[in-house]
Structure 1
Amino acid sequence: MAPQDRLTATFTRADRVAPTPLRSIPQLRVDGLSVSYGPHEVVTNVSFELGRGESLALIGESGSGKSTIARAVLRLLPSGGHATGRVAFDGQEVLGISERGFRPLRGRAIGFVPQDPANSLNPVRTIGAQAQEAAALLDEPDKAIRKQLILETFAQVGLDTPLRVYDSYPHQLSGGMLQRVLIGLAILPRPALLVADEPTSALDVTIQKRILDLLTRLQHDLKISLLLITHDLAIAAERADSLVVLKDGVIQEAGRTASVFSSPASAYAKKLRADVPALNPDRYAALRDTGFRSLKTGQAPKIEVSAVTKTFTVDGKALTAVDDLSFSVPAGTTHALVGESGSGKTTTVRLLLGLEGPDTGSISVAGEQITGRSPEALRTVWRHLQLVYQNPFTSLDPTWTIERLVREPLDRFKIGTRKERDERVREALANVGLGEHLLSRKPGALSGGQRQRVAIARSLVLKPDVIVLDEPTSALDVSVQAGIVEVLLSLQATLGLTYVFVSHDLALVRQLAHTVSVMHRGRIVEHGTVADIFDNPQQPYTRSLLASIPSGGNDVAHMRTRAFG
């Protein structure tokens, strides 16, 4: 028997799919689920049903209870977590059974795709070694056959070189490939239910679309029920048959996707919809007008990048990270650099900041040359050129207070008296909407949105002319992201700041930026105003990026309708 035939024969779903008279029994039914940690209840009286072969999305901000519900279903709540209510899988009550009784279901009948593959895979073991652990659920004693089944599953999830992936370590694969590995390991035993917890949150928009398309196709091909956890209403609207909207562990709204998405009844669902960039491209048009006026009046360039090339040597081979790069940014405007991972965005940022020197070409900021300067000479430039990192949790010292973090640049540049520095710290916090009561706190005591506002305040305290924003909202929920965007545009309108905005989120770029450079393999393939690029893209690569933006439209819904009949 060929391995692929064995896969089909061994894992036929006939033994798990209910007989015809019981087809009305939902694949998953949750009744009155509540979850507590000690006296603190984080999920309250949640109920929903997921039909066989259908998809349901749990949506809401961080802390809304989405992942807690998923972990309660999977019986993976951390120590101290206590769940009450009823969870029935395939008609069988599973919340009250013993761990020993539930273990045969986890992995085999109920698969799980976690959010972050970097933290879910062991970095010191090969993908193949970890895949063999998942293949142990197959009850196939022959290791060679198990390996063949793993390779076939890797091919099924779109990994073009399954054997290379099998022999690789996690750090040797891209984020998109690692996410496909996790999906492959989850579907290897052919589960009836797949729980996917934010499976695309850290991926480029094109890779995100491929992963979501993959999940939709697998759901159809394998007749899997899909429980999707996401904070993005546009993704949920495209990919799910039903939605459950959560806030603070309580259901705000639930129903079929078309109804909830087109006519949300709850104030919270309406807010979520308003905060999705793809659905509201002109939300900040009035705030951006100041920058557009600067663009139209021909303001002098604050940043000029001319014919810059940068090559690195990797494993003895020359790799051109940036190739003949040229663009300029007028004062008081926002210029976006967009493209997939590996397009050269990060290298461009490092060159702008003087952290790397170009092989050829020149870079100037506010008329001062960056190229060729010593670190000491760059200090005067850095005072007027600041950076906001992608992840504030790792860029802010967790042992320092907020006051010390924001104040440090003033201390290093010896600006003003102690009293003047105190005043500037409070002014910077006020500019980003934070109060003085946070001064004595440490980053760990703040929310993700508050930490990012602190990072922005830290960059503002020197009163720079230019701020480089490196994926400043990629780790944030859409609602928190909306608040950060409003802060940035308000500051630009009042202080005349110039931004370089690096992002893979094209919908957010449309809301925030005035001009755009589309990068691909180190080169700019298209450049122009936001309207030019988004409304009339000239290059196939740009069109593919724009086509990948989730919009909550009907294309994927129609695809699901065709697939499921």
Structure 2
Amino acid sequence: MASQDRLNTRLVSIKNAAASAAQPAPLLSVKNLSVAYGANRVVHDVGFELGRGKSLALIGESGSGKSTIARAVLRLLPGAGHATGEVEFDGREILGLPERQFRPLRGRAIGFVPQDPGNSLNPVRTIGVQAMEAASLTDETNAALRKVLILETFAQVGLDNPQRVYDSYPHQLSGGMLQRVLIGLAVLPRPALLVADEPTSALDVTIQKRILDLLTRLQHDLDISLLLITHDLAIAAERADQLVVLKDGAVQEAGKTRTVFSSPNSAYARKLHADVPALNPDRYAKLRDPGFRLLDRTSGTASKIEVSAVTKTFAVDGKVLTAVDDVSFSVPAGTTHALVGESGSGKTTTIRLLLGLDEPDTGEIAIAGENLAGRSQQQLRSVWRQLQLVYQNPFTSLDPTWTVEKLVREPLDRFKVGTAAERSEQVREALSNVGLGEHLLSRKPGALSGGQRQRVAIARALVLKPDVIVLDEPTSALDVSVQADIVEVLLSLQARLGLTYVFVSHDLALVRQLAHTVSVMQRGRIVEHGRVSDIFDNPQHGYTAALLDSIPSGISTISQTPPKAQPQAEPVIRTERRERIA
């Protein structure tokens, strides 16, 4: 009996060995990876494998360790960072390699697409000069042929006029173009692995889709493995074969995309799923109901905001640019109206006109029946007390040298509201309204999280008890979980205080969760307007339909065949891969 057991064990071992031999070795294998900064351990025993030509997404909130893991793989940790464990690339252990031996791999065999092209490209050097540095990592030694390779790659990543891009400085290109440049520079040496760290987080949804489509197409066309870092579960589910869910530097869940996305086991993965706007459009239905009831009751009555046939032009390089073209919309009190569209559609100019920061060339704007036209700065002060703004980026809108108490109290001081004691009480009330405690009063913005900073910005806008708040992309810099908390705060305050919101965003999934009515803007004009449900369920304009099609919706849209560009627009490029460094 014992001999039979030994025989069975031997047969199982042989079968397992044969199965392992039949499967190709992974391109990237991470085992027991830990990262510490001094005594502070921020990544804990992380492990995963990425196959050749496959994609894997690291997902989680800020601070979950996603980018730290990527930088450990790239050997780009700050000086104080120390990684332990095993990282094998193409069968070679790289974590313990001396820098001089690893350097030939970085850029050539392992490419990197950083998050922010604005900070990743030198603003005083042309794109061509910087591209030549990337081209030096290829096998091509002839400068003229290197330039040909650069232009071919720029065309491959969808840049319409490669020569113009080559000759341009970074500030002369849009954000989407700059991100394509970075991707082009990363794939120029034809790496085996491409690490993309939040490559679309700051882009419009349509540009985001184009960039993600591009990465998927390059992955398949060039047989590149893709390590994607993102906080958006819907994007990860659309674009990756496998998911690794991280929280506080530890793996919460890992596996095939379909399994993790459709049936998450961990509470954290389920929360991420619940916080993605595209996957939960009716999450805040009860909080929005009072606004919809007001819409039904106030039909035909005066609105809190009336924008009528407004046009605004600017002179740019001797030419007249029409930034806002015959725009009209109204917002009933107690409801949220969204302005949506891509960058350059006129959203920001429209809210500047609404706030009285610019004057329209033609048309009228009225707040609570008061026309803004022709008012002096002093006369506008009474309007501004009832009309407050929450900026897009709390990092830049809050003075880093001021405490939370001083930041929230400043509007009260400027308008000389109440006594000193009453102002202090109103500051505490405003903080309480956005879910912040008094223990934060003495802190400065640098000691707060991104979500706390944005809540302080909202409290600052609320402290004067305004009727109208303009929200300019108030959650675009936040993780989806923090964003969900902020949205719940805003809608709860609206339901309780009857606030009127104008919400500016390029995120249509978020607009569907938050707004009651919407205006879709393109090149300064409103191309579609109405209730959110009507516009989203039955768009009448092609541009609106294109915006809606760009919303990432999860695993159901995954296709085995990557999106292809039109053949005539796809130049022939060099797809050979450089020989691996021995």
Larger Rg: 2
Instruction: Provide the residue aligned with 2:316 in structure 1.
Output: 314
CA contact (8 A) 1:239 1:557 kept: no
Deviations 1:369-406 (A, max 9, x none): 11221111111100000000000010000000000000
Instruction: Provide the residue aligned with 2:181 in structure 1.
Output: 181
Q: 1:331 aligns with which of 308, 329, 333?
A: 333
Deviations 1:422-468 (A, max 9, x none): 00000000000000000000000000000000000000000000000
Matches within 5 A, 1:399-410: 399-410=401-412
CA contact (8 A) 1:194 1:227 kept: yes
Whole-Å separation in 2 of the counterparts to 1:559 and 1:491: 46
CA displacement at 1:367 relative to structure 2: 1.1
Q: 1:533 aligns with which of 519, 532, 535?
A: 535
Equivalent AA in structure 2 for residue 72 of structure 1: A
Instruction: Provide the residue aligned with 1:270 in structure 2.
Output: 270
Instruction: Provide the residue aligned with 1:47 in structure 2.
Output: 47
Whole-Å separation in 1 of the counterparts to 2:252 and 2:126: 43
Q: 1:428 aligns with which of 421, 430, 433?
A: 430
Whole-Å separation in 1 of the counterparts to 2:517 and 2:477: 24
CA contact (8 A) 2:364 2:373 kept: yes
Instruction: Provide the residue aligned with 1:95 in structure 2.
Output: 95
Instruction: Provide the residue aligned with 2:486 in structure 1.
Output: 484
RMSD: 1.3
CA contact (8 A) 1:354 1:370 kept: yes
Matches within 5 A, 1:381-396: 381-396=383-398
Deviates more, 1:358-367 or 1:292-301: 292-301
Q: Normalized against structure 2, the TM-score is what? A: 0.92
Equivalent AA in structure 2 for residue 183 of structure 1: I
Instruction: Provide the residue aligned with 2:3 in structure 1.
Output: none
CA contact (8 A) 2:244 2:255 kept: yes
Q: 2:363 aligns with which of 350, 361, 364?
A: 361
CA contact (8 A) 2:216 2:563 kept: no
Whole-Å separation in 2 of the counterparts to 1:559 and 1:201: 25
Instruction: Provide the residue aligned with 1:442 in structure 2.
Output: 444
Instruction: Provide the residue aligned with 2:420 in structure 1.
Output: 418
Instruction: Provide the residue aligned with 1:127 in structure 2.
Output: 127
Whole-Å separation in 2 of the counterparts to 1:102 and 1:77: 14
Whole-Å separation in 1 of the counterparts to 2:179 and 2:563: 26
CA contact (8 A) 1:140 1:146 kept: yes
Whole-Å separation in 2 of the counterparts to 1:341 and 1:90: 41
Instruction: Provide the residue aligned with 2:579 in structure 1.
Output: none
Equivalent AA in structure 1 for residue 414 of structure 2: R
Whole-Å separation in 1 of the counterparts to 2:177 and 2:22: 38
Instruction: Provide the residue aligned with 2:502 in structure 1.
Output: 500
Equivalent AA in structure 2 for residue 129 of structure 1: V
Aligned residues: 544
Deviates more, 1:336-345 or 1:363-372: 363-372
Whole-Å separation in 1 of the counterparts to 2:357 and 2:79: 44
Would you say 1:192 and 2:195 are equivalent positions? no
Would you say 1:155 and 2:155 are equivalent positions? yes
CA displacement at 1:510 relative to structure 2: 0.2
Equivalent AA in structure 2 for residue 199 of structure 1: P
Equivalent AA in structure 2 for residue 415 of structure 1: V
CA displacement at 1:23 relative to structure 2: 6.4
Whole-Å separation in 1 of the counterparts to 2:372 and 2:209: 38
Whole-Å separation in 1 of the counterparts to 2:385 and 2:209: 40
Instruction: Provide the residue aligned with 1:233 in structure 2.
Output: 233
Whole-Å separation in 2 of the counterparts to 1:245 and 1:557: 22
Equivalent AA in structure 1 for residue 131 of structure 2: A
Whole-Å separation in 2 of the counterparts to 1:529 and 1:463: 27
Instruction: Provide the residue aligned with 1:300 in structure 2.
Output: 302
CA displacement at 1:44 relative to structure 2: 0.2
CA displacement at 1:121 relative to structure 2: 0.4
CA contact (8 A) 1:384 1:464 kept: yes
Would you say 1:373 and 2:375 are equivalent positions? yes
Equivalent AA in structure 2 for residue 68 of structure 1: T
Instruction: Provide the residue aligned with 1:460 in structure 2.
Output: 462
Whole-Å separation in 2 of the counterparts to 1:559 and 1:501: 37
Residue 518 of structure 2 aligns to a residue whose secondary structure is: strand
Instruction: Provide the residue aligned with 1:4 in structure 2.
Output: none
In structure 1, the gaps of 5 or more residues are 1-19
Whole-Å separation in 1 of the counterparts to 2:127 and 2:460: 41
Whole-Å separation in 2 of the counterparts to 1:166 and 1:491: 50
CA displacement at 1:22 relative to structure 2: 8.7
CA contact (8 A) 2:213 2:563 kept: no
Instruction: Provide the residue aligned with 2:544 in structure 1.
Output: 542
Whole-Å separation in 1 of the counterparts to 2:39 and 2:309: 62
CA contact (8 A) 2:213 2:562 kept: no
Equivalent AA in structure 1 for residue 99 of structure 2: E
Deviates more, 1:366-375 or 1:443-452: 366-375
Whole-Å separation in 2 of the counterparts to 1:545 and 1:371: 33
Deviates more, 1:291-300 or 1:61-70: 291-300
Matches within 5 A, 1:101-140: 101-140=101-140
CA displacement at 1:138 relative to structure 2: 1.2
CA contact (8 A) 2:204 2:342 kept: yes
Equivalent AA in structure 1 for residue 175 of structure 2: G
Instruction: Provide the residue aligned with 1:210 in structure 2.
Output: 210
Instruction: Provide the residue aligned with 2:250 in structure 1.
Output: 250
Structure 1 pair 50–143 and aligned structure 2 pair: CA distance change class (3 A): same
CA displacement at 1:562 relative to structure 2: 11
CA contact (8 A) 1:238 1:553 kept: yes
CA contact (8 A) 2:196 2:228 kept: yes
Instruction: Provide the residue aligned with 2:71 in structure 1.
Output: 71
Residue 301 of structure 1 aligns to a residue whose secondary structure is: coil
Equivalent AA in structure 1 for residue 540 of structure 2: Q
CA displacement at 1:553 relative to structure 2: 3.6
Structure 1 pair 441–349 and aligned structure 2 pair: CA distance change class (3 A): same
Residue 281 of structure 1 aligns to a residue whose secondary structure is: coil
Instruction: Provide the residue aligned with 2:4 in structure 1.
Output: none
Q: 1:551 aligns with which of 543, 550, 553?
A: 553
CA contact (8 A) 2:217 2:564 kept: no
CA contact (8 A) 1:279 1:551 kept: yes
CA displacement at 1:135 relative to structure 2: 0.8
Equivalent AA in structure 2 for residue 447 of structure 1: S
Whole-Å separation in 1 of the counterparts to 2:90 and 2:22: 10
CA contact (8 A) 1:233 1:276 kept: yes
Equivalent AA in structure 2 for residue 467 of structure 1: I
Whole-Å separation in 2 of the counterparts to 1:384 and 1:505: 27
CA displacement at 1:140 relative to structure 2: 2.3
In structure 2, the gaps of 5 or more residues are 1-19, 566-582
Instruction: Provide the residue aligned with 1:5 in structure 2.
Output: none
Whole-Å separation in 1 of the counterparts to 2:306 and 2:562: 47
CA contact (8 A) 1:300 1:331 kept: no
Instruction: Provide the residue aligned with 1:288 in structure 2.
Output: 288
Whole-Å separation in 2 of the counterparts to 1:459 and 1:261: 38
Structure 1 pair 118–468 and aligned structure 2 pair: CA distance change class (3 A): same
CA displacement at 1:559 relative to structure 2: 3.2
CA displacement at 1:558 relative to structure 2: 3.7
Equivalent AA in structure 1 for residue 520 of structure 2: V
